[in-house]
Amino acid sequence: MPLPPSSKYIQRSGDPVDETERDSITTRLNDAFADGRLTHDEYAEAMDIVYGARTLGDLVPVMEKLPAAAANVPAIVEQGGPPAGQLTQPRSLVPAAVMVGVVGLSLLAVLAILLILIF
């Protein structure tokens, strides 16, 4: 897919490629290859271009052929959680109710034994 005219690879085609840019593209290529969106040959060819590039314009062929990024959802969103407006997931109160009942019955039993012993 051709890059838009506003792309930095076209507008600033003469600018040198810095290591941050090279690492960013390499990461995207690695992800695309790992996800099966690039064949081994496409991946190897693209990596050769990336590491041989001296200017942003040299990267245009790679950027045009690079498949769209997989759904990169930040981890905080990906984890899922309670619906909007709810601070936590509702918890079952059954275990707490059972514990209160057990403690209550235990106290009543102790009280009954004490009453029998006293009178």
Q: Is residue 94 part of a domain?
A: no
Q: Is residue 22 part of a domain?
A: yes
pLDDT for 76:
52
**pLDDT tens string 23-54:** 999 999 998 899 888 999 999 999 999 999 99
Lowest mean pLDDT of 5-14, 22-31, 81-90, name the range.
81-90
Please answer whether residues 29 and 46 qualify as being in contact, where contact means their C-beta atoms are separated by less than 8 angstroms. Answer: yes
Please answer whether residues 13 and 63 qualify as being in contact, where contact means their C-beta atoms are separated by less than 8 angstroms. Answer: no
Q: Is residue 8 part of a domain?
A: yes
Look at residue 82 and tell me whether its pLDDT is greater than 90. no
Percent of the chain surpassing pLDDT 90: 52
Question: Which residues form the domain of 66?
Answer: 1-72
pLDDT for 26:
94
Question: How many domains in the chain?
Answer: 1
Q: Is residue 119 part of a domain?
A: no
Q: Is residue 89 part of a domain?
A: no
Q: Is residue 42 part of a domain?
A: yes
Say what the pTM is.
0.56
Q: Is residue 31 part of a domain?
A: yes
